[in-house]
Structure 1
Amino acid sequence: MPDSTPEYDTRPDSPTDFRIALALPRRGPAGIFGLECHAAAELAAAEIETAGGVAGRTVHFVHVDAGGDPAAVGARIKGLLDAGSIDAVTGWHLSNARQAIAKVVRGRVPYVYAAAYEGGECSDGVLCSGEVPGDQIVASLQWLRTEAHLRRWFIVGNDYVWPRGTAAATRVGLQDTDIAILGERFLPLGTDDSAVWDRALSEVVRSGTQGVISLLVGSDAVRFNRAFGDRGLDATITRFSPFTDETVVLASGADATENLFISAGWFAGLGSASAAEFASGFARAFDLVNGAGPIGETAAPPAGTMAETTYSGVHLLADIAGASVPTVQDARRAFVKWGWDSPHGPVDLDDGSARHPVHIAKARGVELDVIARVR
């Protein structure tokens, strides 16, 4: 991904700015989502500006690359805080980056983490606005048990906190059901050795599983899907992912998406008026941020769930204080109880856990068809 935006904005501070560290990945496996998340954040900022700003202040993003070493990401945020250069933090990034950022924020400014995650985050001033495993994964597996008679699953994920925490939460959520996790295999972020993927797939086959739960990120999910299709496993083994969006499906290719199910709050194919409004605004923002195509055409991909959660995270951050500038105290109050309307429907934040409408979609080539609401 091109690295054209400076991480530290050297523009003189303005008392009319609300300065947000926007932490998005520009490299690594999650870098595939960076452009769409940036466009979605700019759309939210433009809408906030039109509505009067944040207590009259203009949203000003200070861009931070969240795709590198988590400790370095945390150090960058700390440097901005120590310099008095930011008023808040938000963005879509991986949970290992969230943990590093939460350690340095420590109640100094509000921080909205805009991604589905493993649950359990309770650091001071941190609001997690994304889906959690019980709603997103367990409900979907129960639906697949009823509709497709799938009971035996094998987990393949990246080796960091979100996949491991999500796998553990899923096992707990499946207790007292007849749905079983037969095994797990966790691979390093950025695995590009075909032999490693082949060994993981051989383990999947030996397990006798009916389905694979993919807890893989971005380009790693693309590599896995392609290897899965190349071995012809998609004809007999179902895949399910809570962390795949339209971008990953498109990159995987039509030959690698048979029997692939995905769950999320948002899909570009949702038919509501709010979904259509967001999709239209996202396309305009993407073209403005990344360069428009020919007149009358858009270069924008379908808006994925990573983009929609980024958009909602920026709005949540701006809204928690009402008519004043958001503070840590506002984040603490919202942690206990808050609600907002997202493009995919109403979301309730209760004791730090965001409850979303959750839909399940099935891949059809490089498109996703929403087939049910599971929560």
Structure 2
Amino acid sequence: MKTQESWKIGILFSTSGVTSIIEVSQLNGTLLAIDEINARGGVRGRPIEPVSYNPGSVVSNYGDMAEKLIVEDRITALFGCYMSSSRKEVLPVVERRNALFFYPTLYEGFEYSPNVIYGGATPNQNSVPLANHLINTYGKRIFFVGSDYIYPRESNRVMRNVLRQGGGEVLDERYYGFDVDEAGLAEVAREIVAMKPDAIFSTVVGQMCIDFYRAYHAAGGDGRVCPIASLTTNEAEIAAIGPEASVGHITAAPYFRSINSPANRKFLKAYKQKFGSVRDVTSCCEAAYCQMHIFANALEEVGDMDTDRLHEALLGATFDAPQGHIKIDPDNTHTYLQSRIAHVDESGEFVIENKVRRALKPDPYLVYPQIHDWSFRPQKVIKSTE
């Protein structure tokens, strides 16, 4: 492949380190989409060529490698990052260099940049429906546990406010560094079991997520009685945790592997053919896959890599995603997404309990945060379709 005949894009997903369990799935979703685009002739007859670096889950590396992709590799469209702290490293680089950055991960909201296309859920698309579900299904007494960085602290701030609007109470709030292991989380797990909250809201990520769920189970916690509820815990992590320790626990997300639709079956079939298994297909993986297709469609329309022209073409862009129809909101460059809540069954698979019937407009600043105004509660899943 000759460089001048391809469209070069930059990729920043970690294949090693504490967040690699998720970022590898995001990388796979990105590469699958590139394969599909190139198989149909590329964009205007030219293939997309990924230039990929491994930040190793080290936050400072993301900004340094973004700079390298733009300055040395002369690439103006970047795809990557899982943690908000890594996104914050890339953000000033792409703004200073006027590059486009596609971020395929849910996050805490309260941010906007014209140089970023946000592909993951904002708080109104996951935190608000999850708070509503917990209060109405389990009760109002919630215990918070999180990793110690930007996303958990900000996400917990939002969740605390939303819960209080619904009459909920935060019993306690704990944060742990990425060096903690299962043994280090055993004490808080025992405290939670002794305190008997109605539910636990977890913003622990990466390997720590796996360790926390296992520690909770070892302490006698039962997800069918007092679930750990999360916005991030996904199929890859549940597989690593194991069904015995994960049964009953809850996640709110736009996408689950168990969605029964033609678009999702096609996506999973292609993913399995390329990677041998769908074990690590996650909501973040699906978001990365969708963002690459949306980018390629905009590039097809524009015909060059000019950041400003691509940005204009991306505003209002739509895609029939595995999760359902999605759209880039021209008001804030976030994405209209589906919203679902699912619990883990005895086999370790997510079973969808509730969903909305349409994609939700992203509200990154929670202009309309009222818990009782959200239309999620009365819209139960039709079991025959999901």
Is 1:348–2:327 an aligned residue pair?
A: yes
- Kindly, what percent of the aligned residue pairs are identical? 23
- Comparing 16-25 and 181-190, the one that deviates more: 181-190
Per-residue deviation, 1:203? 4.2
Q: Residue 61 of structure 2 corresponds to which residue in structure 1?
A: 72
Distance 1:123 1:46 in 2: 29
Distance 1:278 1:311 in 2: 9
Amino acid at match of 1:363: V
Q: Residue 307 of structure 1 corresponds to which residue in structure 2?
A: 285
Residue 165 of structure 1: which of 143, 154, 161 is its match?
A: 154
Task: State how 1:1-375 maps to structure 2 within 5 Å.
Answer: 14-106=3-95, 107-146=97-136, 148-192=137-181, 194=183, 196-205=184-193, 207-234=195-222, 236-287=225-276, 299-301=277-279, 303-321=281-299, 322-330=301-309, 332-333=311-312, 337-350=316-329, 351-365=332-346, 366-374=348-356, 375=376
Amino acid at match of 1:57: R
In structure 2, relative to structure 1, the CA distance for the partners of 1:134 and 1:165 (3 Å cut) is same
In structure 2, relative to structure 1, the CA distance for the partners of 1:353 and 1:174 (3 Å cut) is farther
Amino acid at match of 1:373: K
Deviations 1:115-164 (A, max 9, x none): 11111332341111110122112112212333x24222111111111111
* Contact 1:95/1:117 (8 A) holds in 2: yes
What SS does structure 1 have at the residue aligned with 2:3? coil
Per-residue deviation, 1:336? 5.5
Output the TM-score relative to the length of structure 2. 0.84
In structure 2, relative to structure 1, the CA distance for the partners of 1:167 and 1:333 (3 Å cut) is farther
* Contact 1:23/1:92 (8 A) holds in 2: yes
Deviations 1:91-123 (A, max 9, x none): 242111111111111152211101111113323
What SS does structure 1 have at the residue aligned with 2:19? helix
What SS does structure 1 have at the residue aligned with 2:284? helix
Per-residue deviation, 1:69? 2.1
* Contact 2:11/2:78 (8 A) holds in 1: yes
Per-residue deviation, 1:232? 0.8
Amino acid at match of 1:345: G
What SS does structure 2 have at the residue aligned with 1:357? coil
CA RMSD of aligned residues (A): 2.2
* Contact 1:126/1:331 (8 A) holds in 2: no
Per-residue deviation, 1:334? 6.1
* Contact 1:157/1:185 (8 A) holds in 2: yes
Q: Which runs of 5+ in 2 are unaligned?
A: 357-375, 377-386
Q: Which runs of 5+ in 1 are unaligned?
A: 1-10, 288-298
Per-residue deviation, 1:249? 0.7
Output the TM-score relative to the length of structure 1. 0.86
In structure 2, relative to structure 1, the CA distance for the partners of 1:86 and 1:336 (3 Å cut) is closer
Per-residue deviation, 1:302? 5.3
